[in-house]
Amino acid sequence: MQYAQLAAGTALISGPKNEEICSAYLLVQLYPVPPKHWEEDRGWIYLGVAICRIAQDINLNCPMTAKPLNQHHTRRLLSRTQIWLNCFNLDRSTGTQYGKRAIIPNSDYVARHCDMWWQLSPYDLSGFDIQTCIYNMELRLMAVFMAKIYSDRVLQHPPL
């Protein structure tokens, strides 16, 4: 894990930004070394770097409008959307776990339009892409629910 963290830091400072580096940050966030103290947990930071510094810089959050040229290009475009949806899902689930606000808004175009995305490519990962989309819809629904709860003044400030 120390090597993974060192490679992640080096890639951020001097390496190229690409889908693989973004995926690596997501993995480091998902499988951290258990910290001795709560304050030492860096998972939220790795997720923020994956989303804010890498994924958005390489436009993973933008809808794919390019026409696939061949099988390799089709898989590359599919992978970009998979990585972004995983960024969105991890942002929501980790935020809920740690009690933090999501970085990616619920109005994200790619996340809102993934309902049938998993059916669009003949190369989708059977069972994985549909699960990613369903989990995405569940997390977006939970965000709407949480927004309603936090907008209720009675729940925020109960009478004394």
| 21 in the same domain as 78 | no
- 64-73 mean pLDDT: 88
Number of domains in the chain: 2
Share of the chain above pLDDT 70, in %: 90
Contact 103, 125 (CB under 8 A): no
Q: Are 90 and 46 a contacting pair, CB within 8 Å?
A: no
Q: Residue 85's pLDDT band (boundaries 50, 70, 90)?
A: very high
pTM: 0.82
Structural domain including 17 reads 1-58
Residue 118 belongs to some domain of the structure: yes
pLDDT digits (tens, 9 = 90+) for 94-120: 888 877 888 898 899 999 988 878 777
Same domain, 32 and 76: no
Domain match, 113 and 143 both: yes
Give the residue-averaged pLDDT of 131-150: 87
Coil/strand/helix, residue 90:
helix
